[in-house]
């Protein structure tokens, strides 16, 4: 554990929250980000098409939890 990347540890924590409650999230078709189910426009790519099927949300959470962040998010632009 001593040489694990803190960013990956944080992504894994977020993924666990998503996997426990997939109905509260959806996957953006534009950038593959996982966003809250209540949003109508992706905060990362401004896309408006989403996948809400819970199995696909869980699958994407597992994928994202195992890799470094590749996309630019809103916080990066501040």
Residue spans of the domains in the chain: they are 6-71
- Show Cβ contacts of residue 64 under 8 Å, excluding neighbours closer than 6 positions: 11, 15, 32, 34
Q: Phi and psi for 17 in degrees, rounded to 5?
A: -65, -40
The CA distance from 40 to 21, in Å, is 19
Q: What digits encode the pLDDT tens for the residues 26-65?
A: 999 999 999 999 999 999 899 999 999 999 999 999 999 8
DSSP class of residue 73 equals -
pTM of the predicted protein model: 0.80
């Amino acid at each position: 554990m001593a040489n694990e990347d803190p960013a990956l540890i944080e992504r894994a924590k977020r993924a666990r929250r998503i996997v426990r409650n997939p109905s509260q999230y959806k996957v953006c078709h534009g950038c593959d980000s996982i966003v809250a189910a209540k949003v109508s426009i992706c905060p990362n790519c401004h896309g408006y098409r989403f996948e809400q099927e819970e199995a696909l949300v869980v699958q994407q959470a597992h994928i994202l939890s195992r890799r470094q962040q590749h996309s630019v998010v809103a916080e990066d632009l501040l």
